Amino acid sequence: MSSDRAVARPETTYPAIIGQVVRYLRTKARKKEGKEVIDQGTLAEEIGLSRSAYSRIETGEVAPNIEHLAKIAGALDTSLSTIFSMADDIADQLRDSGYIIHEEALGKIKRTQDEKPESEKEGVGLGGLVIATALGAIVGGLAAAFLSKDSDDDDD
């Protein structure tokens, strides 16, 4: 007997991908380069945010503005171009794997969903949204592959 229920596709947000790319660059990428990992509080202070505000960027709860993202890139010895290239590459790979990528930050999606009448809330299945730790594991692997691809290109 077949089921008429559609299989839900995994979903995430572009700001959550950006946040996880930044987290990866702040931690694992720095370790691989033999640099000291920067903790959230130190980085937040350096760019003029509270630790909790910075944490919401890494989890995708809020999207960073371009000024804060530029400061983050500078503090991590990288460029905005690298962050966006990694995020775009990862988003493309996730889409190719069947993910739905929302452009809004998670906080905005939640607020938008909360404002809708119950009959209209079926659009974005927040229960299926892949963020934070789960997304971090996926992004970590894809980011490592992205960075090793870049370093292979530099060797040519």
List the chain domain ranges. Answer: 11-144
Between CA 14 and CA 99 the distance in angstroms is 11
Between CA 17 and CA 66 the distance in angstroms is 15
- In this structure, are residues 18 and 64 in contact, taking their beta carbons and an 8 Å threshold? yes
The pLDDT value given to residue 52: 95
Q: Which of 79, 74, 93, 105 lies closest to 144 in space, CA to CA? A: 93
Q: Give the pLDDT of the chain (156 residues) as one tens digit per residue.
A: 445 555 667 788 888 899 989 999 999 888 888 999 999 999 999 999 999 999 999 888 888 999 999 999 999 999 999 999 999 999 998 889 888 888 876 665 555 545 555 544 444 444 455 555 566 667 767 777 776 665 555 444
Query: pTM of the predicted model, to two decimals?
Result: 0.73
Cβ count near 121 (within 10 Å): 14
CATH code of the domain occupying 11-144: 1.10.260.40
- In this structure, are residues 112 and 104 in contact, taking their beta carbons and an 8 Å threshold? yes
